Amino acid sequence: MRHDGISPEDAERLLIRPMEQELRSVEGLKEMRATAEEGYATVVLEFEAGFDIEKAKRDVREQMDIAKADLPGETEEPELHEVNVALFPILVVTLSGDVDQRLLIRLARDLQDKIEGLSGVLEVDIAGDREDLAEIVVDPRALDSYGISQDELVQLVGRNNQLVPAGALDSEAGRVSVKVPGLIQSIDDILDMPIKAIDGRVVTFRDVAVGQRSFKDPESLARVDGKPAIALEVTKRIGVNIIDTINEVRAVADAEAALFPEGVKISYSQDKSQQIELMLSDLSSNVASAIILVMIVVLAALGLRSSILVGIAIPGSFLTGILVLHAMGLTVNIVVLFSLILAVGMLVDGAIVVSEYADRRMLEGVHRIQAYREASTRMAWPIISSTATTLAAFLPLLFWPGIVGEFMKFLPITLIVTLSASLAMALIFLPVLGSIIGKPAKSSGRVVEMLRAAEDGDIRSVGGPAGLYVRTLDKAVRYPWVVVAIALVTAVVTLQAYGMFGRGVEFFPSVEPDNAQVQVRARGNMSISEKETLVREVEAEVLKLDGFKTVYTRTGTIRGEDLPEDVIGIINLEFADWRTRPHASEILETIRQRLKHHPGLVIEAREEEAGPPVGKAIQIELASRFPETLPGAVDHVLAGMHQIGGMIDIADSRPVPGIEWEMVVDRAQASRFGADVLGVGNAVRFVTQGVNVGTYRPDDTDDEVEIRVRFPEIDRTGDRLDQLRIQTAMGQTPISNFVERRAAPTQGIINRTDARRVMTVDAEVPDGVLADNKVREIRAWLAANPLDPRVEVKFKGQDEEQRKAQEFLSRAFGIALFLIAIILVTQFNSFYQTALILSAIVFSSLGVLIGMMATAQPFGIVMGGIGLIALAGIVVNNNIVLIDTYNEIRGKGVDAVEAALRTGAQRLRPVMLTTVTTMLGLVPMMLSINVDIPNRVIAIGAPSTQWWTQLSTAIVYGLGFATLLTLILTPSMLVLGDRVGRWVRRVAGRLSRRKADA
């Protein structure tokens, strides 16, 4: 909403408040933020992630139309724009060359129109653009000598730059149109225009002024690698494919570049599609590595034919998943690819169980058709139950709200689809193929004897690793109370150890960035040239460093959702390949150290965010209905943050201090001269930006060009303001007779959130410091040193999203456990056995904590939380298979101890196979190893693996620890349950007999 000359306070009162009143009722609104500045106001509406953009636009437009009636009459028509608050553009197109600047700007504007016509492009911002201007520079001394007032000039041009339709003449000879040509077509038309006649001589504009085609005073300047350029910053729409969009932009730009005049060069920088394609390539290599590792294990354990049957489940499930994603209108991205890596080890579980059972039956002499029929029939319910429990764990993640939910939603979708497909592979396709090509693995006589002993022979005669396990299990099941006690002690010790040695909590893993941004901040009334000088000094220090592909600098007044008001320049850094340079944190710290003592400047160096955009690590919003309390509250919070320490790039949104000249008109005195405020204002504009007297449309541009009349640069000073004269009834009168020029403080930007005045304090944390720890310290400090009760404190940004993610994941974990429990009770018809299986989930979480301590990683709310939920669905599978086998053996009349031993011996191989395949698929990601098989390159620490290290570590350690406990603790608790059950039955029998005797 634009309103020329309106102050920030009036913009808040007259523009923002009426608009807020109507917009607050828009459906799906998450937060409403408003900003009031001199001359205009903006209201930003943030909706819940996943909202319908078109519906939101319609609703907002309807409410805007209602609010317009309450706006001042001079306010321009409010405009509605879709915004993308990303800190970095997806592509920067640069035009440079030793040609006229007007040519570069014209080519850039033409290219801007072509690119903005693409459906996936939201907007293209031209850095270094300057609007065309017809500048008429008037000599004030010549005006005085001819007795010409400024008002005469303004009215003269306006009245002589008109398209006058004079009508038509009708006569017997016909109808003839009549026109009075009056439009200005060139600057010469203005300069030849007569102003007045003095003593028979006509005075024209040429006598008092000079004219030229020029540009408006620059608002921004751009350079690439230290050289001047015109840069087009391309921003995409939300939800569109970034690779396709950039390819379309490049195609349009290359087609236009072929038509550029000689000497004009076009280049590209900060191309995010290259980064994403590299990341997708790395993850694709990891998918292949995971498949190979899994297949090696299966081949070694089950033989060639069985491993082929198991391996068929992988491409079959993958293709099904990708087809379903395509049908849903979703594309393959980094989350989908990691989901496939996670799925590799899980989707073969059912196939392994069926193949292993059939392989064992064929070793016992059963024909392959009968063996696979028995395998698919006997293991159907355990496989269905285990798959259902895994799906139940991921199902709640489909309803994850907010930014993080939109980012991570691909994981549950991909896993649910691929695991569902793997169920069909294991129970239908594999048995059919197995009955045709199945063949038992080549096994030694010892293995055959072990399998027979596990079925119905002497279980204690088994040798080798399996025999060692059986003997260990034999001792454990005879003293189940001791095993349970050891497990509980292990849990307590692990929790205490994590409390002492754990690395804390973080929201999202830190990933080596490809881009960074250096923000140059300074305060004061600076011209664009002064800002340029300061930013150039910073840029020169940055260019001395190595490790950059491009350095793109923009100077001037830069506005952005996540930018402080006092930013005078931004230096966007595109890093070279991560293998050939130091870590980004080291480079940025070097920049900070080099520039920290630079007088008058504040330097902020920010890495590009990994994952959902949440802004700075620490963001504190102070809100109040009493605006006068906010500056003191900001001072109070800043004092606390400095006292706590350990934070960098601390900034706040208090208005930037500055001064402005107020031309105070004494209306009573002015009325004696016949003057008014409008006349004074028009005169003052001759000294500042000039007076807009009209527009004209030259042949070399498609847009109208403003005609501005102003004084020469030498007369654009504060002293000239005091010497101005205006035409009054008494002739040329100095405005100093009734105008006082005084200095006054400027009112900076006013920010509002949800209809209340707000100020913010934000900060980053150094590398190795957790934002969560600092937020806790700040909360504790504010609790001990409270603010004015009229001020409300709210931690936003990362802390807000972290709390939302934590709350959702806690609920999702509880829902997953409930769904799993329903499935287990349905299958086993036993609350005890259901509780036993669910206890494995609790113990798997201990393994996660051990893994975090062993690898010195903080627990990630997002990635670690997803890891825990994934474990809930994975670890129950082995327990289901074990307990199902135990129940079958017990049904044959075998005692509990013997049944537990046979269960362990029979299910040891499939349990270890399913566990090892799941773990091996994730081990490369856990160790940050990327194996590029086609190019025969092994990379350690690739950024693509850093995204998933926490999640992989949680699953690998949690599953490994839970499996060890499953193989010992689960049989022991089954025996314990049998003993407790028999004791309860004996006690109940005695009580019933005593009651009968009585």
> 797, 830, 859 — which closes off a domain?
797
Q: What is the pLDDT of residue 980?
A: 84
Q: At what angle are helices 677-687 and 150-159 packed, to 10 degrees?
A: 90
Instruction: Say whether both 577 and 647 belong to one domain.
Output: yes
CA distance 670 to 402: 59
CA distance readout (Å), 155 to 158, 585, 694: 5, 60, 10
Distant-in-sequence, close-in-space partners of 211: CB < 8 Å, separation ≥ 6: 134, 135, 136, 137, 187, 188, 190, 191, 205
Lookup: tokens for 741: 């020029």
Judge contact between 752 and 16, C-beta under 8 A: yes
Judge contact between 616 and 87, C-beta under 8 A: no
Q: What is the pLDDT of residue 704?
A: 81
Q: What is the pLDDT of residue 480?
A: 87
The strand pairing partners of 761, in sequence order, are 620, 652
For 730, phi then psi, to 5°, come to -100, 15
Judge contact between 268 and 93, C-beta under 8 A: yes
Domain count within the chain:
4
For 693, phi then psi, to 5°, come to -100, 0
Q: CATH number for the domain including 825?
A: 1.20.1640.10
Instruction: Say whether both 520 and 467 belong to one domain.
Output: no
CA distance 400 to 605: 32
Only one residue has tokens 């993308």, namely 84
**What is the residue type of 61?**
R
> 61-70, 365-374, 451-460, 875-884 — which is least confidently predicted?
451-460
Instruction: Say whether both 652 and 669 belong to one domain.
Output: no
Instruction: Say whether both 775 and 863 belong to one domain.
Output: no
Assess if residue 431 is contained within a domain: yes
Instruction: Say whether both 310 and 450 belong to one domain.
Output: yes
**By C-alpha distance, which of 868, 948, 867, 860 is closest to 283?**
948
Distant-in-sequence, close-in-space partners of 887: CB < 8 Å, separation ≥ 6: 828
CA distance 382 to 377: 10
Assess if residue 25 is contained within a domain: yes
The strand pairing partners of 36, in sequence order, are 41, 750
Instruction: Say whether both 174 and 77 belong to one domain.
Output: no
CA distance 491 to 485: 10
Q: What is the pLDDT of residue 456?
A: 62
Assess if residue 121 is contained within a domain: no
| Helical ranges in 69-194 per DSSP H | 101-116, 140-146, 150-159, 187-191
Neighbours of 565 (CB within 10 A): 20
Judge contact between 810 and 862, C-beta under 8 A: no
Lookup: tokens for 510: 């830190």
Q: What is the pLDDT of residue 643?
A: 92
Neighbours of 445 (CB within 10 A): 7
Averaged pLDDT for residues 122-145 = 84
Q: If DSSP codes are grouped into helix, strand and coil, which group holds residue 837?
A: helix
CA distance 809 to 826: 25
Q: CATH number for the domain including 783?
A: 3.30.70.1320
User: Percent of the chain, pLDDT > 70?
Assistant: 96
**658 vs 350 pLDDT, higher one:** 350
Neighbours of 264 (CB within 10 A): 17
| pLDDT above 60 (res 443) | no
Distance of CA 837 to the CA centre of its chain: 38
* pTM confidence score: 0.76
Assess if residue 343 is contained within a domain: yes
Averaged pLDDT for residues 736-758 = 84
DSSP H or E run through 356: helix 349-363
Instruction: Say whether both 970 and 902 belong to one domain.
Output: yes
pLDDT level of residue 249 (50, 70, 90 thresholds): very high
Averaged pLDDT for residues 279-291 = 77
Assess if residue 98 is contained within a domain: no
Q: What is the pLDDT of residue 784?
A: 92
Q: CATH number for the domain including 48?
A: 3.30.70.1430
Long-range contacts of 152-156 (CB under 8 A, 24+ apart): 152/195, 152/196, 152/727, 153/195, 153/693, 153/709, 154/682, 154/691, 154/693, 154/709, 156/193, 156/195
| pLDDT above 70 (res 449) | no
**By C-alpha distance, which of 413, 423, 419 is closest to 326?**
413
Judge contact between 815 and 398, C-beta under 8 A: no
> 745, 763, 782 — which closes off a domain?
745
Q: What would the 3-class secondary structure string for 147-201 be?
A: CCCHHHHHHHHHHCCCCEEEEEEEECCEEEEEEECCCCCCHHHHHCCEEEEECCE
**By C-alpha distance, which of 102, 81, 209 is closest to 152?**
209
CA distance 122 to 634: 35
Q: Give the β-pairing of 227-228 and 220-224.
A: antiparallel
Helices and strands, number each (H, E), in the chain: 34, 33
> 83, 111, 134 — which closes off a domain?
83
Assess if residue 139 is contained within a domain: no
CA distance 487 to 761: 47
Residue spans of beta strands (DSSP E) within 843-995: 859-860, 929-932, 937-940
Assess if residue 877 is contained within a domain: yes
For 654, phi then psi, to 5°, come to -60, 150
Instruction: Say whether both 301 and 390 belong to one domain.
Output: yes
Instruction: Say whether both 667 and 760 belong to one domain.
Output: no
Q: What is the pLDDT of residue 293?
A: 80
CA distance 727 to 296: 95
Lookup: tokens for 400: 């994850």
Write out pLDDT tens, residues 369-416.
Answer: 888 888 888 888 888 888 888 888 889 988 888 777 877 888 889 889
Q: At what angle are helices 480-501 and 464-478 packed, to 10 degrees?
A: 100
CA distance 249 to 653: 36
Instruction: Say whether both 620 and 492 belong to one domain.
Output: no
Averaged pLDDT for residues 869-888 = 84
Instruction: Say whether both 462 and 322 belong to one domain.
Output: yes
Lookup: tokens for 232: 């087009």
CA distance 875 to 959: 6
DSSP type of residue 865: H
Instruction: Say whether both 609 and 715 belong to one domain.
Output: no
Q: CATH number for the domain including 691?
A: 3.30.2090.10
| pLDDT above 70 (res 336) | yes
- The domain containing residue 44 runs over which residues? 1-83
**What is the residue type of 287?**
V
Write out pLDDT tens, residues 962-980.
Answer: 888 888 888 888 888 888 8
Assess if residue 686 is contained within a domain: yes
